[in-house]
Copies of this chain bind each other. A is one copy, B any other.
Amino acid sequence: MVYLTRRERFNAAHKLYNPHWDEAKNKEIFGKCANKNWHGHNYHLYVTVKGKTDPNTGFVMNAKTLSDLIKRVVIDKVDHSNLNLDVDFLQGILPSTENFAKAIWHELAKHLVGVELHCIRLHETENIYVEYFGEV
């Protein structure tokens, strides 16, 4: 088993805001992340797949193919977007880094053939990141 990781980057706006709470409660729990006018991040996304190496190519998976897939399925939808408003696969989901990583997992997992999705690592800032390994 070999693990291959590909990094992609995108820039998006969001806010942390639970619509079932009033603004005071949102401010109390989420602090300045609840700013009604949004804020944003340069997200760094690391996608790790695992599998056997193909004897003809030496690849677990062609890293270019993986990059193209991540771009088509994730980056094209989230780059320069508002995560609360613009992204089909985040409808109804509070875009915390945790929820966002899990949503990306579900988008990517269904498109991978011949390898297994191992980890979604999503960096919101250089100080905070989240990892999701699926329902394990």
Contact = CB atoms under 8 A, between A and B. Distances in A.
Nearest to A101: B2
Contacts of A38: 13, 38, 40, 82
The SS class assigned to the A binding surface is: mixed
Interface string A34-73: 0101111110000010000100111110111001000000
A82 B18 contact: no
Given A96-B53, A99-B58, A80 B39 contact: yes
Interface of A: 1-9, 11-14, 16, 18, 20-21, 29-33, 35, 37-42, 48, 53, 56-60, 62-64, 67, 79-82, 85-86, 93-99, 101-102, 125-133, 136
